[in-house]
Structure 1
Amino acid sequence: MVTSDFYCEEVLSGKTEVERVYETDNVLAYYHTRPFYPVHIVAIPKKHIPSLTRIDVADTAILHELLEVIQKVALEVEEKHGACRVITNLGEYQESKHLHWHIVSGKSYS
Structure 2
Amino acid sequence: MDCLFCKLINREIPATILYEDDDVIAFEDIMPQAPVHFLVIPKKHISTLNDISEEDAPVIGKLPIVAAKVAKEKGVSDDGFRVTMNCNEMGGQTVYHIHMHVLGGRQMTWPPG
TM-score, with length taken from structure 2 = 0.78
Aligned-residue identity in percent: 32
Q: Which runs of 5+ in 2 are unaligned?
A: 109-113
Q: In the TM superposition, what is the alpha-carbon distance from 1:33 to its structure 2 partner?
A: 1.9
- Indicate yes or no: 2:50 matched with 1:53: yes
The one-letter amino acid paired with 1:28 is I
- Indicate yes or no: 2:19 matched with 1:22: yes
TM-score, with length taken from structure 1 = 0.80
Deviations 1:67-94 (A, max 9, x none): 32123223444336x2211011111011
Q: In the TM superposition, what is the alpha-carbon distance from 1:63 to its structure 2 partner?
A: 0.9
Q: Which runs of 5+ in 1 are unaligned?
A: none
Confirm or deny: 8 A CA contact 1:28 1:43 kept in the other structure.
yes
- Higher RCO (CA < 8 A, seq sep 6+): 1
Aligned alpha-carbon RMSD (Å): 2.1
Confirm or deny: 8 A CA contact 1:38 1:107 kept in the other structure.
no
Confirm or deny: 8 A CA contact 2:24 2:62 kept in the other structure.
yes
- Indicate yes or no: 2:105 matched with 1:84: no
Q: How many residues align?
A: 103
Flag as ranges the 4+ runs of structure 1 deviating above 3 A.
74-77
